[in-house]
Amino acid sequence: MSEASSRTIPTCAAADPNPVPAGFTPPPGACDCHAHVFGPGSQLVENRAYTPAVSSLSGYRAMLQTLGISRAVIVQPSVYGTDNRTTLEAVAEAGPDFRAVVVVNDDTGLADLKHLYAKGARGVRVNALFHSDARLDDLQKLSRTLADASMHLQILTDVSKLEELSGLVQSLAAPVVFDHIGHLPAALGVTDPGFQALVHLVETGNAWVKLSGSYRMTARDRPPYEDVAPFAQALVRANPEQLVWASDWPHPHFPGKMPNDGPLLDMLADWAPDETIRNKILVDNPARLYGFDQPVMED
């Protein structure tokens, strides 16, 4: 009997179907840099951490419209493995204001990455949390190929458990993006050595961080998740040029109280009260990282 068939795989709750606007109006070109689409197309992998609720592109775009956000990045979720069809089909349907982050096999070559780039992919995700065999010390070869394809490496990991973080990241050839503020428990505090290593990487321009997934770190049961604010604020102080914001819609693999996306965006105003800095995080930085000034076209 396989591991997947011998255990219960939890089914995710759906996102809040009634998003509310944030307390501020995002500027034109604002981008949600991390979301997922779940539906027909890709095959669920057997060894997965959860079964997603159906979460359509139309539902996601309705949420973006409520928030006043025009650009987005669809990220390949772990449950689809390397079957990127659902993610890429969503980007193709949504048009030039959408980009993708995909998942690939270890032996994926430059030609395949260039093909994915032409379909809107700008990064490759390595999931080091949920049922993944990814080894963070075996990424040099992949990062070199990604650099040749003008793509970045996106890492999902708990930075508090990451040893020699700075040396590893600085050795990689491609830009590195960390999901969800480093995905560490807020109870560890901002002095945690792993988080401080992440702050240093951001400060020196050697890593990007997504200001997202705060509800995955917090000990609180609803926004504004005050215990997460010191982490986000430390990163903003370190280097706002290396930060982007994301909703993480539809908030999969989360057993707590489902957050509404308006209050999640509102938290950015607390983390970055200076409008100029906040606009960099929402508009300028995503445009640079995901190449929104470059056309997406089939190769």
CATH assignment of the domain containing 101: 3.20.20.140
Residue 129, domain member (yes or no):
yes
Asked if residue 180 has pLDDT above 90, the reply is yes
Say how many residues make up the chain.
299
- Residue 294: pLDDT above 90? no
pLDDT at 131: 43
Range of the domain at 140: 31-290
pTM: 0.94
Read off the pLDDT of residues 194-221 as tens digits, 9 standing for 90 and up: 999 999 999 999 999 999 999 999 999 9
Question: Once rounded to an integer, what is the mean pLDDT over residues 240-256?
Answer: 96
Instruction: Report the share of the chain in percent with pLDDT over 70.
Output: 93
Residue 18 lies in a domain: no
d(CA 105, CA 142): 10
Q: Is position 70 within any domain?
A: yes
Binned at pLDDT 50, 70 and 90, residue 2 comes out as: very low
12 domain-assigned: no
Domain membership flag for residue 148 = yes
Whole-number pLDDT of residue 53: 93
Residue 297 belongs to a domain? no
Does the pLDDT at position 240 exceed 80? yes
How many structural domains compose the chain?
1
Residue 14 lies in a domain: no
Residue 273 lies in a domain: yes
Token pair 């809107």 is at which residue? 120
Query: 164 — alpha (psi -120 to 50), left (phi > 0) or beta?
Result: left
Q: Is the pLDDT of residue 126 over 80?
A: yes
